[in-house]
């Protein structure tokens, strides 16, 4: 059995794989007003399509659909197989409020009403 594929068939298979990855992923990287779809995501970084992605460096926001999930400090690592690979220097989960700098009791009152 031969595993040889012609260049046209291999190019077609690679294109179909990239399109399915792009459709399946809801992750997006926001840099100012620019938005780039994420092809792959893992614990240490993510990959963007090499033709569309510049060599990014610095602070970016990572969204899943419309949900802001991470604020990341990234560097462009390398380009391989048509993907631009970025690595995290810092990856912080996005929250909708500032973190507390004290321990809040479970049964603590939400607010205090003045006594008149």
Residue 54 forms part of a structural domain: yes
At 11 the three-state DSSP class reads helix
Domain membership of residue 108 (yes or no) is no
Q: pTM of the prediction?
A: 0.65
Within a domain: 74: yes
Does residue 52 form part of some domain?
yes
Residue 48 and residue 85 in contact, taking contact as beta carbons nearer than 8 Å: no
The number of distinct structural domains making up the chain is 1
CA distances 31 to 26, 35, 53, 102, Å, are 16, 6, 11, 33
**pLDDT tens figures, 18-28:** 666 555 568 89
Assess if residue 13 is contained within a domain.
Answer: no
What is the structure's pLDDT at 34? 87
Separation CA 105–CA 84 (nearest Å): 46
**Mean pLDDT for the chain overall:** 83
pLDDT reading at 77 higher than 90: no
Give the domain range for residue 57.
26-93
CATH of the domain at 36: 2.40.10.430
């Amino acid at each position: 059995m031969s595993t040889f594929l012609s260049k046209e068939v291999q190019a077609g298979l690679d294109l179909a794989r990239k399109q399915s990855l792009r459709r399946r992923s809801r992750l997006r990287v926001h840099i100012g007003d620019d938005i780039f779809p994420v092809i792959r995501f893992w614990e240490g970084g993510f990959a963007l399509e090499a033709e569309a992605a510049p060599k990014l460096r610095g602070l970016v926001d990572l969204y899943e659909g419309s949900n802001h999930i991470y604020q990341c400090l990234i560097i462009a690592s390398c380009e391989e197989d048509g993907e631009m690979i970025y690595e995290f220097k810092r990856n912080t989960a996005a929250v909708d409020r500032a973190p507390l700098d004290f321990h809040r009791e479970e049964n603590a009152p939400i607010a205090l009403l003045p006594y008149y």
